[in-house]
Amino acid sequence: AMHNAKQQGRNNFQFFHQSMNIQARQRLILENELHKAIKNEELEVYYQPKIELTECKTVGMEALLRWKHPEKGMISPANFIPLAEETGLICVLGEWVLRQACKHTKNWHEQGFKLKVAVNISTVQLKETDLLNNIHNILEASNLPPEYLELEITEGVLMEDSETSHTVLSAIKELGVFIAMDDFGTGYSSLSYLKKFPFDTLKIDQSFMCDVDTEPDSSSLIPAIIALSKCLKMKVVAEGVETDAQLNFMKKYECDEIQGYLFSPALPPQEFENWLKNNKVI
């Protein structure tokens, strides 16, 4: 009950019932299996391409962690990422993802694909005292120029400790790394945060895409977000583009880049590399 109350936020209470005990046991089992997954190399980084709309070419990709359990198959990130954040494992996982992403991206550079990779950074990671050193060392070890790395931060991260977040993000910018606000529109969406923090990119959450097909009038927020981004000199990326109607809508309002199932789902490294070659990416 205490754990559930914490998840609901401050000034909250929850009554205990038997299902909570079952959930607690399931969480413990999953935590133990996640430890084993790291040791047994069950985790892999997948990549979803980002398409630049002016020339319709692939310019980058988002790195996404996937867990292929030997018995349960693919386990949704929604089930294990929050657990990793609560237990502190996210720091180990995050560093590993960043290392893999930079290594793979450098390898693709050597094959002629000059792509920028985006990697998600959690609240827990942003509080790490050695985060900057880790980023610097990983870039140096992979020999990837910093301008080909972008770190994605959600709005919720900024609410934890805005002053510390600003200091850390500014230091990351000084390394030459780009910073994106991820899932824009799902959280607090304060305009003051967009002005205060050193963002290069704003990513429109995929939930905004749903209305484009069914209720075009209700999707009027998207042009406003794109216009706002351009005023603030930010690149704007739309997530979750799955239909031609959504693609044409984003083209109409001059969105810079898109990603989604219309072009490709997230793919394991070798499949992503094959996708790049088959799609004649520049």
Say if residue 187 is in the same domain as residue 205: yes
What pLDDT is stored for residue 250 in this prediction? Answer: 94
Interval 75-93: pLDDT, tens: 888 888 988 888 888 999 9
55 and 35 both lie in a single domain: no
Answer yes or no: do 24 and 134 share one domain. Answer: no
Report pLDDT digits (tens) over 141-183.
Answer: 999 999 999 999 988 777 777 788 889 999 999 999 999 999 8
Q: Are residues 49 and 129 in the same domain?
A: yes
Same domain, 143 and 157: yes
CATH number (domain holding residue 110) = 3.20.20.450
Alpha-helix residue ranges (DSSP H) falling in the chain: 2-8, 18-39, 77-87, 89-110, 123-126, 131-142, 155-160, 162-174, 191-196, 210-214, 221-231, 244-252, 269-278
Confidence of residue 282 (pLDDT cuts 50, 70, 90): very low
Q: Which domain holds residue 19?
A: 1-40
| One domain for residues 127 and 247 | yes
Instruction: Please tell me the predicted confidence (pLDDT) of residue 214.
Output: 74
Regarding whether 52 and 35 lie in a shared domain, the answer is no
Q: Are residues 3 and 127 in the same domain?
A: no
Same domain, 158 and 58: yes
Three-state SS at 71: coil
Where do we find the tokens 């824009």?
184
Flag the least confident range among 30-34, 62-66, 258-262.
30-34
CA angle in degrees (0–180, nearest 5) for 51-242-158:
70
Total structural domains in the chain? Answer: 2
Same-domain status, 36 and 62: no
Place 51 in a pLDDT band, splitting at 50, 70 and 90: very high
Higher-scoring residue by pLDDT: 56, 210 = 56
